[in-house]
Amino acid sequence: MNITPSPNAALYTEDMLDSQSVTAIAASGFTTVIVGLFHVHTDGSLYYNDTPVDDSQASIIKQLKTIPGSKVQTVLFSIGGGNWYNHPRSVSDDDYPAMKATWTTPAPGKNTTSKQNILDFLKNANLDGLDLDYEPEETTFDATFIAQITNEIKAEGYLMTAAPYKNMPQWETVLKNTIVKDGSTVIANNFSWWNLQTYGGAYYPSWANALQGLSSQIGMTNNEVEAFLLPGYSLSCGSTPTSEIKEIKSSYPSLNGAFIWKYSSIASCLSTQANAILEAIKEKQMA
């Protein structure tokens, strides 16, 4: 069963996992692991960083939850990413148009669509869902396609998350088009949660207040909006996000967790970081 942990301490990875890193992450206390960075090439094929996806990645990712004593409850994989210094074009400018072009029709010479390749990997790696790290820079924000991916992958029984940090109006449009209805009444949303890149410039109160203003249109109550948004932190072992989480929680008491970008930056203090998130959330819940 694919679940949203509560409370939820999430960790993004970036580089290829190995048995040592998987063992450390599994024991650390992080409840969710989001494995990146995956990309879609023009032929619809799925890559893990610069390596074509094969059974070796699926095999190692499976172990995050199956290692005895693992505290990991949910594992997603993430497609996309942003730009970097002196490189204005984003990897999302390539990944998502390539995905769209091959979503329902295979590329010439190929037998499978990008959608099928994603579904196959979700199954082969025993994943719980897909994270959309959609950060377009030089291409137009494609809210329609992002909603389509979300609705169709969710319909296959998987969790859907995203990692926004700007383009708030466009992301609001996405949410309005990923709703679940009971008759004419909006009752839920096909996204399970969003990993809000506060380290990328997103201001949590602005996003929370905006989405609470749209609650009836996006299938969430105000409390559910607070739980829906997980603030993100990019840090090293010299600090934890405890004070930042407590500050947000003081105004948004239904906050359900936070995430850290990225594994390699906190590899030597994983448990400290996971516990900092979990304890900060639990403390306010008991107040």
148-167 per-position pLDDT tens digit: 999 999 999 999 999 999 99
Q: What is the pLDDT of residue 83?
A: 87
Give the tens place of pLDDT for each residue, 99-142: 999 999 999 999 999 999 999 999 999 999 999 999 999 999 99
Measured distance CA(166)–CA(171) in Å, rounded: 8
- Report yes or no: 193 and 8 within 8 Å, Cβ to Cβ: yes
One-letter amino acid identity for 110?
Answer: K
Measured distance CA(131)–CA(49) in Å, rounded: 15
Q: What is the pLDDT of residue 274?
A: 98
Measured distance CA(247)–CA(154) in Å, rounded: 33
Cα dihedral: 268, 227, 3, 193 (round 10):
-80
pLDDT at residue 286 tops 70: no
pLDDT band at 89 (very low <50, low <70, confident <90, very high): confident
pLDDT at residue 85 tops 90: no
Give Cβ neighbours of residue 175 (< 8 Å, ≥ 6 apart).
Answer: 189, 191, 211, 214, 217, 218
- Report yes or no: 165 and 196 within 8 Å, Cβ to Cβ: yes
Q: What is the pLDDT of residue 90?
A: 95
The CATH code that applies to domain 8-286 is: 3.20.20.80
State both tokens at 285: 């819940």
Domain extent listing, the chain:
8-286
pLDDT at residue 87 tops 80: no
Give the tens place of pLDDT for each residue, 230-273: 999 999 999 999 999 999 999 999 999 999 999 999 999 999 99
pLDDT band at 2 (very low <50, low <70, confident <90, very high): confident
Measured distance CA(139)–CA(90) in Å, rounded: 9
Does the pTM surpass 0.85? The reply is yes
pLDDT band at 86 (very low <50, low <70, confident <90, very high): confident
Q: What is the pLDDT of residue 283?
A: 82
Count of Cβ atoms closer than 10 Å to residue 183 Cβ: 6
Intra-chain end-to-end CA distance of the chain, in Å: 31
State both tokens at 23: 């063992």
- Report yes or no: 131 and 81 within 8 Å, Cβ to Cβ: no
Q: Supply the mean pLDDT for the chain.
A: 96
pLDDT band at 16 (very low <50, low <70, confident <90, very high): confident
DSSP the chain: -----SSEEEEEE-SPP-HHHHHHHHHH--SEEEEEEEEE-TTS-EEETTEE--HHHHHHHHHHHHSTT----EEEEEEEE--BTTB-S-THHHHHHHHHHTSSSPPTT-SS-HHHHHHHHHHHTT--EEEEEE--SSS---HHHHHHHHHHHHHTT-EEEE--SS-HHHHHHHHHTSEEEETTEEEEES--EEEE-GGGT--HHHHHHHHHTTHHHHT--HHHHHHHEEEEE---TT--SHHHHHHHHHH-TT--EEEEE-GGGSTTSHHHHHHHHHHHHHHHHH-
pLDDT band at 284 (very low <50, low <70, confident <90, very high): very low
Match 């600090």 to its residue by tokens.
Answer: 239
